[in-house]
C-alpha cells in the first residue's frame, strides 16, 4: 500500500507542479497590477481546486489501468486485481480531495491579498 500511496502522491504533485508553474507565470505577467495579479491567481487556483475535486469524485470509478499510478507501479503492487481497483481508487480520491482543499486555501489567500491591495492602493 505504501507504493500505491507514494505513486499516487508523485503523480498528483507532478501535475500540480505544472499547474503552479502556469499560475505563477500568469501572475508574474500581471505583476504590474498587483490587484489583478492576485485575483487572477485566486481564480486559477479555484479552477485547479474544482478540477481536483471532480477528479477525486470520479477516481473510485475510473479504470486504474488508465491512470499514471498504474504506470508508475509497473505491475508491482502485490494486490489481487479485484482489490487493486478499490485500493488505487481510494488512495487517489483521498489525495485529490486533500490537494483540492489546499488549492482552495491558496485561492482564498490570493483573494485576500487582492482585496488588501485594492483597499490600500
Domain boundaries, the chain: 2-120
Q: Is residue 32 scored above 80 in pLDDT?
A: yes
| pLDDT on residue 82 | 75
| pLDDT on residue 56 | 96
* 15-21: long-range contacts, CB 8 A cutoff, minimum separation 24: 16/48, 16/99, 16/103, 19/48
The stretch 27-46 carries a mean pLDDT of 97
pTM for the model stands at 0.90
Amino acid at each position: 500500500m505504501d507504493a500505491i500511496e507514494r505513486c499516487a502522491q508523485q503523480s498528483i504533485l507532478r501535475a500540480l507542479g505544472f499547474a503552479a508553474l502556469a499560475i505563477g507565470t500568469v501572475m508574474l505577467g500581471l505583476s504590474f497590477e498587483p490587484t489583478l495579479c492576485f485575483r487572477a491567481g485566486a481564480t486559477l487556483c479555484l479552477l485547479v481546486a474544482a478540477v481536483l475535486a471532480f477528479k477525486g469524485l470520479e477516481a473510485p470509478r475510473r479504470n486504474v489501468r488508465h491512470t499514471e499510478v498504474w504506470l508508475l507501479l509497473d505491475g508491482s503492487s502485490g494486490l489481487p486485481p479485484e482489490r487493486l481497483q478499490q485500493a488505487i481508487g481510494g488512495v487517489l480520491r483521498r489525495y485529490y480531495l486533500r490537494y483540492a482543499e489546499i488549492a482552495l486555501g491558496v485561492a482564498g489567500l490570493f483573494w485576500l491579498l487582492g482585496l488588501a491591495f485594492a483597499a490600500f492602493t
